[in-house]
A = this chain, B = another copy of it.
Amino acid sequence: MVYFDNNATTPLDPVARAVWITAADEAWANPSSPYRASARVRNLLEECRERSASLIGCATEEIVFNSGATEANNAVFAYLAGCARPSQSVLISPVEHPSVLEAASHSFPDRVIFAEVDSEGVVDPESVRALLRKHSPAAVSVMAANNETGVIQPFESLATICRERGVPYHCDAAQWPGKMPASRLSACDFLTGSAHKFGGPKGVGFLRVPAEINDFRGQLGGEQEGRRRAGTENYPAVAAMVAALADREANGFDDMEERVARRAHFEARLLEEVPGARILAAGRERLWNTVSIVLPRHENHRWVMKLDREGFAVSTGSACSTGDGNPSHVLAAMGRSPAEARRVVRVSAGRDTRDAEWNGLAKAFGNVWRRWDEKRSDSALTEVVSI
C-alpha cells in the first residue's frame, strides 16, 4: 500500500520507535515516585519538556504533555469557559476540527461566534479584528493548517491581533509540527499538538498553556504536569514524540520548495489524468503534503475504494468524520454544495513520499477514471447496439 493519508495518522518514525522501546524497557518507573530510578525518569521527562519548548519557542514550563489534540482542545475550551463572563462568547473559525467545534459549542453553548472564511477556507484577519471589537470574546481559536484542504491560516497575524486586544489566542496546530517549522507557532498563547500526526506514537500530545496562567486543570487528581494534567506521566510516549518532532525539525524544512514543486507536479498530472477535476484552494498557501480534489463524477467513497484496489490509501476527508456519512463541514463553510463535497478526495503525503509515488497516484486516479469512462462507453455502445 502506498500511503497518502498522513493527515489522518502517520506510521511511527524509526527514531520514535527506537526511543519508545528503550524508554519502555529502561525508563518505565513512575516519574512521581520517590526513589532514584523515578527521579531519573522525572529528569528525562523534564528534558523532553525543555527540548519541545525550545523547538516551539516557548518557556519550558508552558508545555503540558497529554493524550493528544482532542483532549487538549476539550480542556482548553473548558478552561476558557470557566474564566469567561457568563454571557461572553468565543470566536472560532467554521473550518476547525470537530474537537474544537464541539468543545467550543459544549463549553460556550449558544455563544460561539464564527469568523468568516473565503471560498478557499481562509480566515481574514481584518474580519477577526472587527469581530473582536464588536463582541469582546473570551478567546479566539483558529487552527494553523486545515486537515482537509491543507490551507494555512494567517495564525501569526491572528496571534498579533489578539495580543493587541488582550484576548487569548488558541491554535489547534495538529497538522503543523513535523510538516512546517514548529517555531512559527511561538506567538500562539494556547497551542495544541498531536504526536501521531508527525511520526510519534498515538495517544500522546502536547498543549502549550501560557506561563502566566496558574489555574489551568486539564484533568484533576494529581500533581503531575504542574497540576495542569493529572495522571501518570507517559514518559515512553512523550520521549518518542519529542524524538520524532526533533528529527523532523532537523531534517524536514530545507527542501520545502522541492516538496511544494512535487505537489504541484502531481496536481498538474492529476488534472491531465482526470479532466474536469479541480484542486481546492489551489491558489492559496497550503501544506506541501495536502491536496484536496473535487472530482468531476462519482462519490468520493467509490474513488477511495477503487484507489485502494490500485494500491493507494487516500481519504474522503478527515478520519474523524469518515464514519458519519455527512458531507464535510469544512467544504460547506467554503460554500461548496453537499453534492460537490461528496466528490472530494483528500491526498496527504508523508515525510518520505517519493516522486514515483506521487506520479503513481496521479496515474492511478487516471486508471480509475478511464475504467469508469470505458464502462460508460461500453454501456453507451450497448445502448446503441441494442437500439
Contact = CB atoms under 8 A, between A and B. Distances in A.
B316 A202 contact: no
A28 to B, nearest CB: 5
A75 to B, nearest CB: 9
Interface residues of A, number: 73
Interface in A286-321: 301, 304-305, 307-308, 313-316, 319-321
B99 A219 contact: yes
Contacts of A320: 32, 221-224, 230, 232
Contacts of A29: 5, 8-9, 313
A111 to B, nearest CB: 16
A35 B313 contact: yes
A86 interface: no
A49 interface: no
Copies in the complex: 2
Interface in A140-172: none
Interface string A57-90: 0000000001111110110000000000000000
B221 A101 contact: yes
Contacts of A24: 12, 17, 20, 201
A237 interface: yes
A196 B31 CA distance: 13
Interface in A229-260: 230-237
A30 interface: yes
A204 interface: yes
B33 A222 contact: no
A281 to B, nearest CB: 22
B32 A222 contact: no
A360 interface: no
A312 to B, nearest CB: 8
A98 B222 contact: yes
A32 B313 CA distance: 13
A65 to B, nearest CB: 10
